[in-house]
Amino acid sequence: MDNDRRKFLQNSAKLTGLTFASPVILPSNSKASTIAIGSYQRDLGMKLCLAYFWGIEKHKTALSRQMDVRGAVSPIHANLAGLPGEKDNSRNVIKAIKNVWAKESLELRVVEGPPYLGLKTKLALSGRDEEIDNFITLMKNLSLEGIDTICYNWMPVISWARTFLDKPGRGGALVSGFNSAAMLQKDPITEYGDLTPETMWENLEYFLKAVGPEAERYGIKLALHPDDPPVDNIQGIPRIITSVEAFKKVLGLYPSENNGITFCQGSFASMGSADDQVNIPEAIRYFGKRKAIHFVHFRDVRGDKNNFEETFHDEGKTDMFAAMQAYHEIGFTGPIRPDHVPTMAGDSNDKPGYSTIGTLFAIGYIRGLMEGVGKTKA
């Protein structure tokens, strides 16, 4: 570098009060993350969260704090609380788990995959009423600790199902997906007898009518997740929460603002056939006007219920900007999290769908959409 150019750079640095040897350090009490620009509200008022199905992951919680994503979505169990032997629904366990997250500077906002909602309730087996009583106790004690949302599903025996977990996607990222033809090769499950869709609906209605009044009493939002994949049957086990019409029926079984939905966009987007797709923004507006959306899984897919794969947020079938606009229009300010992200280069695929790097991409994309929607409206 010649002397004149060196002197110019040095003088410029002096004028700005900086040196090239040192980075700019903001004060530790910087309020940058809470500053509003114009009438835009950060994250549109929604509560960004990450899922923690494997307990406290120190690297992930550190990244959450750095991204200012302060919500945690987690199961409830005594081992996570450090209280083995105690009942999962006890207030001691719930308080301890809440404190575990608080020590990470995170807030437990949603219980996803609650205890005491298993085969006995979903298949009307012996012990159903006792299990439901335990679920009601769980709601009561969650309410006492200020936790108001439970994400549950109605998929007994076989829950989340995929036929592949490591298909190369964009740039070699690994994605999961489902092919119904491959699933048909699996043997049927017969140990629970001849299950029918009618029986599954009867069991769900029994549950909702038992717990609905108590959810209202304790201020708990019951957020039913769609069946994933949304096919009618897997290995002989009926699946009934597979369409927009099914969710309309669910809301009618126990009409209440406490009886609502986990709006999992990927599941809704994969409903129907290639010629009969769900209009995601339209569905958001329909259920949002009825105050039925309590929790959002913001993700996308390519394909339909019989053959689909997960995608990055910016390459799926859904107009994600229009979806975010719809959430904003209905006034949704509840918990929202990314889900089923691709596993990216340098990351492990030991937890398919929950790649750390893929999650970072997802949060950046989601927050960008939020700001774009908010400032467009402003």
- Residue-by-residue pLDDT tens, the chain, 378 positions: 444 544 433 444 343 333 333 333 333 343 434 445 567 899 999 999 999 999 999 999 999 999 999 999 999 999 999 999 999 999 999 999 999 999 999 999 999 999 999 999 999 999 999 999 999 999 999 999 999 999 999 999 999 999 999 999 999 999 999 999 999 999 999 999 999 999 999 999 999 999 999 999 999 999 999 999 999 999 999 999 999 999 999 999 999 999 999 999 999 999 988 888 999 999 999 999 999 999 999 999 999 999 999 999 999 999 999 999 999 999 999 999 999 999 999 999 999 999 999 999 999 999 999 999 999 965
Three-state secondary structure of 240-276: CCCCHHHHHHHHHHCCCCCEEEEEEHHHHHHCCCCCC
CB 270, CB 229: distance < 8 Å: yes
In sign, the C-alpha dihedral spanning 358, 359, 365, 369 is: positive
217 vs 81: CA distance, rounded Å: 26
C-alpha neighbours within 13 Å on the C-beta side of residue 356: 13
CATH topology of domain 43-377: TIM Barrel (3.20.20)
| Whole-prediction pTM | 0.90
pLDDT of residue 349: 97
State residue 30's pLDDT score.
Answer: 38
Residue 120's nearest CA partner among 76, 153, 156 is: 156
Q: Which parts of the chain are beta strand (E)?
A: 47-51, 71-74, 107-112, 149-152, 164-168, 174-179, 221-224, 233-234, 237-238, 259-264, 293-298, 301-304, 307-310, 335-338
Strands 71-74 and 47-51: parallel
Nearest to 71, CA basis, from 333, 375, 361, 370: 333
Strand order in the sheet with 174-179: 164-168, 174-179, 307-310, 301-304
Determine contact, residues 254/209, Cβ cutoff 8 Å. Answer: yes
3-state secondary structure of 364: helix
pLDDT for 20 = 32
Burial bucket for residue 20 (CB in 10 Å: 0-12, 13-18, 19+): exposed
Helix (H, G, I), strand (E, B) or coil at 111: strand
| pLDDT for the residue numbered 275 | 85
Helices (H), 126-264: 128-144, 180-183, 197-218, 244-253
pLDDT of residue 39: 76
Angstrom CA distances, 346 to 25, 40, 165, 330, 357, stand at 29, 36, 17, 39, 8
- Pick from 176, 264, 177, 274: nearest CA to 226: 264
> Distance between CA atoms of 293 and 300, rounded to whole angstroms?
18
Tokens of 152: 């549950």
Which pairing describes strands 307-310 and 174-179: parallel, antiparallel, or unpaired?
antiparallel
pLDDT for 10: 45
